[in-house]
């Protein structure tokens, strides 16, 4: 009898642990759009996808959302609320998610999404359309003087995308629309 209870307790514990590891909370996805299902859109003055996710959370009709980055200086980021959950489509223009999903920016050792490493700049330049943050990272890697870099999407610090090369590694600060990295 004691052995059965112990076996049963082990089985229940194992099932619980499997359920915890299989069921993961949904998160918003950077570089994905969800075209269609729009019932409302509004500018996002902060330029932060987190604010779009919060608007969806507060609206009962909202089932999913897409946040579009501004395309030039003076234009605003746009939050698109959706009454359905359209399939996601890969697109660097946007961040999208479903209601109840928080915004979790991708993190790895090379790329810091929504991070600015303000200061320590020794050179900056416009990035050609379509080149993205990889061009900024490559420019930093090619110069021995460069220790870190910050890439600003179009519309966040100017009409065009912009790259800042840094001779010092400054502390990271959260700032939507910017991507940073440390090279050396």
Of 131, 174, 129, 154, the residue nearest 77 (C-alpha): 154
Structure tokens at 172: 């990271």
- Answer for the pair 82, 41: CB distance below 8 angstroms, yes or no: no
Of 65, 61, 56, the residue nearest 88 (C-alpha): 65
- For residue 151, pLDDT beyond 50: yes
Scanning the structure block, which residue is given the tokens 């930093």? 140
Structure tokens at 72: 């030039």
List domains and CATH numbers for the chain: 29-98 (3.50.4.10), 112-182 (3.50.4.10)
pLDDT digits (tens, 9 = 90+) for 47-89: 999 999 999 999 999 999 999 998 776 678 999 999 999 999 9
Q: Cα separation of 24 and 29, whole Å? A: 14
Average pLDDT, rounded, for the chain:
84
pLDDT digits (tens, 9 = 90+) for 110-124: 789 889 999 999 999
Say what the pTM is.
Answer: 0.72
């Amino acid at each position: 009898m004691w052995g059965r209870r112990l076996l049963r307790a082990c089985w229940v514990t194992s099932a619980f642990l499997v359920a915890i590891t299989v069921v993961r909370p949904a998160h918003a996805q950077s570089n994905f759009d969800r075209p269609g299902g729009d019932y409302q859109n509004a500018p996002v003055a902060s330029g932060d996808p987190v604010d779009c996710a919060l608007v969806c959370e507060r609206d009962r009709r909202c089932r999913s959302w897409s946040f579009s980055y501004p395309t030039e200086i003076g234009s605003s980021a746009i939050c698109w609320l959706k009454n359905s959950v359209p399939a996601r489509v890969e697109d660097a223009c946007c961040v999208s998610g479903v209601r109840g999903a928080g915004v979790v920016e991708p993190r790895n050792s090379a790329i810091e999404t929504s991070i600015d490493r303000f200061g320590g700049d020794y050179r900056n330049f416009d990035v050609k359309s379509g080149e993205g943050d990889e061009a900024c990272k490559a420019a930093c890697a090619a110069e021995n003087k460069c220790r870190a870099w910050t890439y600003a999407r179009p519309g966040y610090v100017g009409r065009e995308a912009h790259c800042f090369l840094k001779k010092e590694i400054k502390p990271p600060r959260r700032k939507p629309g910017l991507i940073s990295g440390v090279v050396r």
